[in-house]
Structure 1
Amino acid sequence: MDADIDGVLAGAVADGAAPGVVAAAWSDRGAYLGAAGEAVAGAPMATDSVVRIFSMSKAVTASAVMQLVEQGRVTLDEPAGELVPYLAEVQVIDGFDGDGVARLRPPTRPVTLRNLLTHTSGFGYDFADAVLAQHLPTIEPAPGNSQGSYEHPLTADPGTRWSYGIGVDWAGRVVETVSGQDLGAYFQEHVLGPLGMVDTSFQPSAAVHARLAALTLSMPDGLIALPNEALTDGTPYEMASGGGGLYSTVSDYLRFTRMILEGGALDGARVLAEATVDEMGRDHLGELSATGWSSTNPTFTADVELLPGQRAAWGLSFLINTEATAEGRSPGSLAWAGAANSYYWIDRTRRVTGVFATQVLPFHDPKVLAANAAFERAVYAALG
């Protein structure tokens, strides 16, 4: 059983999808943990190799938000600007003047936490939003790790379209404001610590950093290794990236996905109420759909079409397939990914979950997508 999945990982490396691959899966029938290839030049990818999980951070942040919702300290539909002032001041780009300067106006409705968690706030990413990509070079950049680096205008009115962006980063700011803790400390006390996710953090220790896999750029003529630097220089965050700043291992992240699979608890540690997990896992888009994006930065991401051939729904941080997938996911399964081609899914119907990670850019690389799909199929064949 494990040999079949091992073969998928080894095949991904042999085919040039990635220098190294690491993956984990779990179901009621068994578990899998394996790795293939190299983490850095001359050093093997190991099952405890540390990876930048980028947007897989979003589900952790959403869980923290929903803990505060359970406690009655926030609601999903109150104006988020009542908690974080910038969200009350944010403007919408309404075209550009002849000299390329954005025309700004107030939004037609306030931004809510539900908007932030479902990518319907109007916030974007410049790599996925041509309007934002046009605007950001015209303004003075703010220092990294600062709140100012996230103070972008909206490119649509809240609630009017799905647009992938920095909304979950702002949801993390809400957690900090309401809890009185920085996001890393809150995660450690209320999510990571209870789940035993010992290798997951915003700023990894020297010992954890020593296991960090290198980023690689996939180019038409092959893979190019990038300097193996952390996402942070070690200086304190003014605003941690709840949308994309975590490091983790596939074993750690599998503990998180298993918690969701099990309805909010794992090994006696309850992180969320089962009703909360149900709420996070239902479609919150109404008549909208999660369409994907056209890339404005092909070095960072390819064009993305989510779930081709079916409507893509979105929960409170999760992509939701509305029909069964060719790999085996049941309708209503939860999933998402990280920019360096890491992926996870949670199938609460068949009770299967898996995590697959490379450190390859750009996101949505065709070879890695094929390898991830092969991994899913092999997991369902062995464990589903």
Structure 2
Amino acid sequence: MAKDAKPTINDVARLAGVSKKTVSRVINKSPLLNDATRSKVEAVIAEIGYVPNPQARALALRRNFLIGLIHDNPNAQMVLGVQEGILETIRDTEFALVVRPVDRHSPQLLDDIRHFIEQQRLFGVMLLPPISENDELADMCRKLGCTVVRMGSAALDKSEHLVASNDRQAVADAVFWLSELGHRRIGFIAGPQGFRSARERELGFADGMARAGLTIDPALMERGTYRFESGLAAGDRLLAVDPPPTAIFSSNDEMAAGFLHRALDKGLKVPGQISIIGFDNTATAAHIWPPLTTVQWPIKAMARAAAHKLIDPLEAASQPSIFLSDLIRRSSADAPSA
């Protein structure tokens, strides 16, 4: 290396006795390196004063070091959780996050996203449900040379392009747990049509009821929008049924909170007269009273894995793609009163 020359990634690799690819992984905070290798490379970087040049690398790749988060999702807390997970992963790297809300019903959806990717020269994109279920959109991203990872409630793609939860099994287990507590009249608040998560959770409810040997009562089935207000409306209808349900499974926490509000407003004891379970384990679930029993959707863990797959595509297959949800038991669900 010449005396006045700026150190390069090749210099780092040579002095550390590793490949340029390994140096790149250290720079991008890849979790796929052992501590000894990471420390050795970081020591060389510090010793020779190597500073990555994002502009030069972006020019060479014809891409900026930007990760796009594209969504059309009414669950604001879910979107926030994904952002936090991605930001945790890309902190101290040269990558940055750009968030783009879209209208999945727009006839210009593909054109708008194409323009966004080309204008920003995105390195990669993460697609949130329900637009992550759009195969044409995912294919378009790939054709534009943009790495894509899809979040879903079921397997949508190859593992290197996927982070998914086991919604159907998680809901089935939660509903069966309600039956073990002694509940026989269990109602359900479904999510909106067009969401794979809503469908998977509805199938899980049916599975859990079948496993418990219980028959689904159509009068105890309502559909919401994943919003608080639809939980209120579902409460008005479900709590007017005679005889009423003794337990409700809601497809997300926002609707469960709305239902809980309506039940308390009607003077019902929760969980004495009505038990309630939600899905997501958002901050809302822990902060309302009584605290909400809910299925924990591992949003941040999924987002962190997705970010790793985006910033280090060569090692994407080594990251997990299926994440298991757990039932968080709080005060809103218990055995029915005698």
Structure-2-length-normalised TM-score? 0.25
Please identify which structure carries the higher helix content: 2
Structure with larger RCO (C-alpha < 8 A, sep 6+)? 1
Larger Cα-atom Rg: 2
Structure-1-length-normalised TM-score? 0.23
